């Protein structure tokens, strides 16, 4: 083989090896994705990466010692300097069941030089009663016919018969323990037995939870019907396990968050048709979401306007900075800097003195981002990301000109957090009845949180009205 042929052969091998190296580097980068560089949840970051050498100076103890990142002392738990102090509101005078006055013992009292105040230093203490239950016995007169011997009993009122063993407040507490506290029926049974001295079967508890779900059906339907009238709705979805007689059925828990209420729905689909069921086919408002295809299809085929989440986009830009291609890294780093400039101006929007300057700063940062994505680095991931920003610029930058829109989908993600925790603990629901209960309870739970309304009080109210056959009070 002559010299030129050998050089050509080596060049071909080198080109093949470079392609293989780029492919392996891309695969390693994809496998190394974390919650900071992708949409993966933080719980998927199984191994916490060690801090870089410069962030752990010589002599510092790292995460297990007194100092953490950049040599700073680890912050102590509890209230932090510069933050407002949070203290419990004392009980009002009408809430006090008993009070004791204390004074110095004889011989230890202050002399005549001490003048007593008209008020006291107060220490309040809360304790469970020996029997916190209020047990009521309803007695119904019985009669016997003197001739026939037939026995006649006074009829039981329908609302009392439907209540059963547990009263409205105890039934609401059962639903709250099951739905908000993620407690199993066995644990609720043990709690009632050990703390309240009440023996109740798990079957009875399941029946109570079902009754609560039935009571919440009316306000749930009302909230669902009002979703289509909301100007801005943030939506998101997460996986859900629904167990039936054939095993686990793959389902999804959808969430739609409006300004004053939220609606959850468990369905066996992740397609755009679920949004049509939630919002209606003619919804004309703004849909805040991530870049999932179902949301894009719903907006493209309907009359809604999209507002896509920047948090998801930033993670993908940050992922490009982890690649080995220096050109891509440099392009993504500059894009990140321009995004930071955008949100630096956005977070200062409430400074009315510089309102116009901040508004111009946001538009200037937007123009810089759009200019950057017109000439992306020549790599598939960078070109795809740049095309997305250019094509959907109106949806990504809508928050600048519309105060009703937030730049992230944080509202919907926060609303789903309680449901995700419940799924991890309870492993899902059992069949359609359990899913209907879950979506109704989550809807009422999140809506009460948004309205700063006590959840237990509303559950008691709903159960009482439903048992009496009256309309259940709404939440809007």
> What's the CA gap between 323 and 216, in Å, rounded?
51
- pLDDT (mean) for 158-178: 90
Query: Looking at the predicted structure, is the pLDDT value of residue 60 above 50?
Result: no
Query: Looking at the predicted structure, is the pLDDT value of residue 285 above 90?
Result: yes
Query: Looking at the predicted structure, is the pLDDT value of residue 56 above 60?
Result: no
User: Exposed (0-12), middle (13-18) or buried (19+): which is 180, by Cβ within 10 Å?
Assistant: middle
Q: Identify the three-state secondary structure at position 205.
A: helix
Higher-pLDDT residue of 327, 70? 327
Domain residue limits, the chain: 217-307+410-443, 310-389
Residue whose pair of structure tokens reads 């510089």 in the numeric block: 354
Task: Please calculate the CA angle 260-254-419 and round it to the nearest 5 degrees.
Answer: 80
- pLDDT (mean) for 203-215: 93
Query: Looking at the predicted structure, is the pLDDT value of residue 292 above 80?
Result: yes
Select the CATH number that applies to the domain covering 217-307+410-443 from these four: 3.40.50, 3.30.420, 3.90.75, 3.30.310.
3.30.420
- pLDDT (mean) for 309-320: 92
* Local confidence band at 192 (pLDDT 50, 70, 90 cut-offs): very high
Q: Which range scores top for mean pLDDT: 59-73, 118-132, 203-217?
A: 203-217
* Local confidence band at 42 (pLDDT 50, 70, 90 cut-offs): low
Q: How far is CA 100 from CA 20, 108, 121, 404, in A?
A: 82, 19, 12, 54
> Which tokens belong to 455?
């959840």
Q: What is the pLDDT of residue 199?
A: 93
Candidates 377, 370, 361, 372; CA nearest to 393 is 370
> What's the CA gap between 160 and 154, in Å, rounded?
13
CB 392 within 8 A of CB 399: no
- pLDDT (mean) for 281-296: 94
User: Exposed (0-12), middle (13-18) or buried (19+): which is 351, by Cβ within 10 Å?
Assistant: exposed
Q: What one-character-per-residue DSSP string does 133-145 give?
A: ---------EEE-
Cβ neighbors of 467 (< 8 A, separation 6 or more) are: 159, 162, 163, 168, 211, 215
């Amino acid at each position: 083989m002559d010299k030129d042929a050998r050089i050509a052969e080596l060049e071909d091998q080198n080109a093949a090896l470079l392609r293989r190296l780029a492919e392996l580097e891309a695969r390693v980068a994809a496998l190394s994705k974390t919650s900071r560089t992708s949409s993966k949840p933080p719980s998927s970051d199984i191994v916490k990466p060690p801090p870089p050498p410069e962030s752990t100076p010589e002599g510092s103890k790292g995460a297990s010692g007194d100092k953490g990142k950049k040599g700073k002392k680890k912050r102590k738990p509890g209230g932090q300097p510069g933050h407002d102090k949070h203290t419990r509101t004392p009980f009002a005078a009408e809430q006090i069941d008993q009070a004791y006055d204390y004074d110095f013992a004889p011989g230890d009292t202050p002399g005549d030089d001490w003048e007593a105040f008209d008020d006291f230093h107060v220490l309040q203490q809360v304790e469970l009663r020996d029997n916190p239950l209020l047990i009521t016995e309803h007695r119904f007169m019985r009669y016997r016919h003197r001739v026939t011997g037939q026995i006649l009993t006074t009829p039981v009122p329908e609302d009392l018969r439907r209540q059963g063993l547990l009263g409205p407040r105890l039934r609401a507490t059962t639903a709250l323990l099951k739905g908000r506290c993620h407690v199993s029926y066995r644990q609720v049974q043990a709690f009632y037995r050990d703390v309240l001295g009440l023996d109740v079967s798990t079957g009875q508890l399941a029946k109570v939870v079902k009754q609560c779900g039935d009571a919440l059906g009316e306000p749930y339907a009302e909230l669902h019907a009002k979703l289509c009238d909301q100007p801005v709705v943030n939506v998101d979805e997460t996986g859900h396990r629904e167990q039936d007689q054939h095993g686990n059925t793959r389902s999804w828990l959808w969430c739609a968050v409006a300004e004053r209420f939220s609606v959850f729905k468990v369905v066996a689909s992740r397609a755009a048709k679920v949004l049509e069921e939630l919002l209606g086919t003619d919804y004309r408002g703004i849909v805040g979401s991530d870049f999932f295809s179902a949301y894009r299809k719903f907006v493209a085929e309907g009359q809604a306007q999209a507002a896509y989440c920047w948090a998801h986009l930033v993670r993908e830009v940050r992922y490009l900075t982890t690649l080995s291609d220096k050109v891509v890294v440099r392009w993504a780093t500059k894009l990140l800097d321009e995004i930071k400039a955008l949100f630096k101006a956005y977070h200062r929007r409430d400074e009315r003195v510089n309102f116009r300057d901040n508004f111009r700063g946001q538009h200037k940062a937007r123009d810089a981002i759009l200019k950057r994505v017109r000439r992306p680095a020549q790599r598939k991931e960078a070109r795809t990301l740049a095309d997305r920003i250019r094509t959907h610029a109106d949806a990504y930058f809508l928050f600048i000109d519309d105060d009703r829109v937030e730049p992230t989908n944080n509202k919907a993600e926060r609303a789903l957090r309680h449901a995700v925790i419940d799924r991890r603990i309870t492993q899902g629901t059992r069949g359609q009845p359990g899913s209907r209960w879950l979506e109704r309870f989550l809807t009422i739970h999140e809506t009460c949180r948004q309205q700063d309304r006590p959840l237990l009080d509303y559950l008691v109210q709903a159960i009482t009205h439903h048992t009496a056959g009256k309309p259940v009070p709404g939440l809007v």
